[in-house]
Amino acid sequence: MAQGLSHATRQPLPALKRAQLAIGLVLVLMVILLALEGLGGGTTPGGQSGQQGGGGGGGQELPMALDFTLRDIYGHQFSLSDFRGKVVILDFFATYCKPCKTQVEELKEVKRQFGDEVVIISISVSPEDTNEVLRSYAEENGITWRVARDTAGVGDAYNVLYLPTLVVVDPEGRITARHVGLTDSETLAKEVEAALG
């Protein structure tokens, strides 16, 4: 049926149409990449694939959480390894991030359910979030757990690209879950229970 095609259907696309098509293809690729990141396609510090949600079954070796040392908003130094023996939730956020404020409410519920069995550490990755800004944010949002500025590149080490990002670390220091975006307390509670064994 090639004979039935008009000459106009075989002409090259005008430059404007080609540019629009190229932009459209780039946007589609970006959406696909974002979707893959949201499904756990990111990497953990060891370069291994991150997990979305709980995991660790099936005999897989879970990656160890990268240890770090920071000072909280009151000047107290701490390291991730200080909390071995407890489940730790790392909450990467920024004060300008609206979903991060909602995440605080979900984390409060997890803390209410598990008390001292879970340690939550909120780490601001925004350079604009000074200790003074973070103290006000913690007070305004009723945050009772440790809050710190990322002064050591922890967000980069944990491949934090979107906020909020949550990383669940089991009592042995292994990463058992990673979430990109707002995560409900029910999901986190199940992961904490699984990590506690």
Domain ranges of the chain: 11-41, 69-196
Percent of the chain whose predicted confidence (pLDDT) is above 90: 68
Indicate the fold that domain 69-196 takes in CATH.
Glutaredoxin (3.40.30)
pLDDT of 150-173, one tens digit each? 999 999 999 999 999 999 999 999
Summary mean pLDDT of the chain: 83
Backbone angles phi, psi at 62, to 5 degrees: -80, 140
Residue 5 has pLDDT above 60, yes or no: no
Least confident of 15-29, 80-94, 96-110, 129-143: 15-29
Residue 37 — very low, low, confident or very high, per pLDDT cuts 50/70/90? very low
pTM, 2 dp: 0.72
Burial status of residue 119 (CB atoms within 10 A of its CB: 0-12, 13-18, 19 or more): buried
pLDDT of 41-62, one tens digit each? 332 333 333 334 444 444 578 9
Least confident of 49-53, 57-61, 140-144, 191-195: 49-53
Residue 174 — very low, low, confident or very high, per pLDDT cuts 50/70/90? very high
pLDDT at 19: 58
